[in-house]
Amino acid sequence: MSPLTDLTLLEAQTALRNGEISSRELTRACLERIAALEPSLHAFLHLANEQAASRADEADQEFVALRKSQSTNSQFINLLFTKPLLGIPLAVKDVLAVENLPCTAGSKILEGFFPPFTATAVKRLQDAGAIVIGKTNTDEFAMGSSTENSTYGVTHNPWDTSRVPGGSSGGSAAAVAARLVPAALGTDTGGSVRQPAAFCGVTGLKPTYGRVSRYGLVAYGSSLDCVGALGRTVEDVALLFLIMAGRDALDATTQDVALPDIKFDAGADRDLPLRGLRIGVPQEYFVRGIQAEVEASVRAAIDVLESLGAEVRDVSLPHSEYALPVYYILAPAEASANLARYDGIRYGPRIQAESMWDIFYRTRGRKFGAEVERRIMLGTYALSAGYYDAYYGQAQKVRTLIKRDFEQVFEQVDVIAAPVAPTTAFPIGAHGDDPLAMYLEDVFTLPANLAGVPGLAFPVGFDGKGLPVGMQLMGGHFREDLLFRVAHAYQQVADWHFRKPGI
């Protein structure tokens, strides 16, 4: 029998429900694999071994109690609806608050901080029975594309440990790819779920802005931040999404939009499950500089979608080239405001000094990393009197143009297909101290955040070095269902998502 850690989320759910495995066995298997591989991966910042073990025992008791009672059928069916994740271990990116666990956001300035509450997205998964097994590594305050900006050291890509896993949700992506957990939570402000999913060969969703509550998320760029999920299959990610999504009174930007009716059953159209669906391929995403193998794999995947019945059309998102400069004005501007709260008084460590101002200066000066300082300076500059109109105001206007590009394209097609990143995973240290080279990694993922539309990344091949290649689908606001439908149809005929790194 293959190891328990090879089970997908849905497979684990079935095996637990049928009594073939216990939550204790599954959780132990994950913890043992973590213990064996963490020295080479460093995917986690904190592990909750004991809490996870006792949650697992509680879940097993719940299963036993249900099996004993006589009205089993209806109670089991009820369980299916109320606790679909009972006994399943998950990992959570360390920017989401989980009560009784540290929350550092990859920063020294939050060292030792224990949030007194749990983020809504996590809480909903816990209420559904999931067990948080640990918190995963991230670039400091989710600023980066490689985890190299984490104060606590880089995570290694399970496909080649000399390379980055992508970022900033690189710890979560590496943990899922290396089968340390069946699924994990990440966050995506400019690509931080999709790009690491692509680099690690897993499936990752950035939902529509406002679809999943940000309550309990360490804020980075509040008009861009989204909580998303990473798993091995589209179905696993969709299940987590359905549980997390929906209006939350604690986050005023969440919207009361009905959850999509996700149909994974192709029905009568077995051979052509995508018949009637229009897929747009934006010319602006296949530009010079893109790695040839990435383009080839993505184009081959689009051909597969066509063979499944979809109609493929060329489309244009003419303002795409402005996404990068617009994002790198708006995100730092919002970050500079959000990060003002870390002052040595309210959270984490304090460097004592004579005056309150000196406490602020010293604590912030010593505890923020270089990239975070750079962004605070960029953002403060862009918002300062005299430059506000020229930078921030202008960027907001161009953001509207980018959003309109998407609206126009979604009048012609249902879904957009594009690469996730211009390259596969790069070597640790490759971008050295060249922040611009790092920013370029996000060129294909930023537009979805600026427009607020959902994006789903999933593996569509490997390059000559054996590194995974990802493709992303983007859809109109609140049309995650279309992304799931298309990517699921693809995963029914492809097996890239089942390949396992040799680590």
Q: Which are the catalytic amino acids?
A: 93, 168, 192
Interaction of residue 172 with ligand GLN, rule CB under 6 A: no
∠ Cα 332 335 338 (to 5°): 160
Q: In what helix (H) or strand (E) does residue 401 lie, and over which residues does it extend?
A: helix 394-412
Residue 198 CB, nearest distance to ligand GLN (Å)?
Answer: 13
Residue in this structure with the two tokens 């590009």, named with its chain if needed: 405
**Is-contact 161 425, C-beta < 8 A?**
no
Residue 197 CB, nearest distance to ligand GLN (Å)?
Answer: 12
Interaction of residue 189 with ligand GLN, rule CB under 6 A: yes
Q: Which is nearer to ligand GLN, 127 or 373 (CB)?
A: 373
The maximal CA–CA distance of the chain, rounded, in angstroms, is: 75
Can you tell me which of 87, 106, 144, 210 binds ligand GLN, judged by CB under 6 A?
Answer: 144
Interaction of residue 188 with ligand GLN, rule CB under 6 A: yes
Q: Which is nearer to ligand GLN, 143 or 333 (CB)?
A: 143
Interaction of residue 150 with ligand GLN, rule CB under 6 A: no
Give 314's strand partners. 281
- CA 188, CA 327: separation in Å to the nearest integer? 13
Q: Please give the sequence-ordered ranges of beta strands (E in DSSP) within 189-340, or none if there are none.
A: 203-206, 226-231, 278-282, 311-315
Can you tell me which of 85, 110, 142, 279 binds ligand GLN, judged by CB under 6 A?
Answer: 142
**Distances from the Cα of 132 to the Cα of 27, 187, 228, angstroms:** 10, 16, 16
Q: Which is nearer to ligand GLN, 300 or 440 (CB)?
A: 440
Residue in this structure with the two tokens 């008084």, named with its chain if needed: 345
**Is-contact 419 444, C-beta < 8 A?**
yes
Can you tell me which of 126, 136, 168, 208 binds ligand GLN, judged by CB under 6 A?
Answer: 168
Interaction of residue 171 with ligand GLN, rule CB under 6 A: no
Candidates 120-128, 186-194, 307-315, 396-404; binding stretch for ligand GLN (CB under 6 A): 186-194
Q: Which is nearer to ligand GLN, 144 or 260 (CB)?
A: 144
Q: In what order do the strands lie in the sheet with 278-282?
A: 44-47, 131-136, 89-93, 183-188, 226-231, 203-206, 455-462, 468-475, 415-419, 278-282, 311-315
Give the pairing of strands 131-136 and 89-93: parallel
The tokens describing 135, both together, are: 């918190």
Contact map string, positions 324 to 343, toward ligand GLN, x by CB under 6 A: -------x------------
Contact map string, positions 61 to 90, toward ligand GLN, x by CB under 6 A: ------------------------------
Residue 91 CB, nearest distance to ligand GLN (Å)?
Answer: 17
Taking alpha carbons only, the member of 164, 386, 406, 172 closest to residue 282 is 406
The tokens describing 246, both together, are: 């929906």
Interface with ligand GLN: number of residues (CB under 6 A): 13
Residue 453 CB, nearest distance to ligand GLN (Å)?
Answer: 15
**Is-contact 228 184, C-beta < 8 A?**
no
Residue 63 CB, nearest distance to ligand GLN (Å)?
Answer: 37
Contact map string, positions 424 to 463, toward ligand GLN, x by CB under 6 A: ------------------x---------------------
Candidates 18-26, 136-144, 380-388, 453-461; binding stretch for ligand GLN (CB under 6 A): 136-144
Q: Which is nearer to ligand GLN, 150 or 168 (CB)?
A: 168
**Is-contact 186 482, C-beta < 8 A?**
no
Q: Which is nearer to ligand GLN, 186 or 273 (CB)?
A: 186
**Is-contact 89 166, C-beta < 8 A?**
no
Site for ligand GLN in 292-331 (CB under 6 A): 331
Q: Which is nearer to ligand GLN, 220 or 360 (CB)?
A: 220
Residues forming contacts to ligand GLN in the complex (CB under 6 A) are 142-145, 168, 188-192, 220, 331, 442
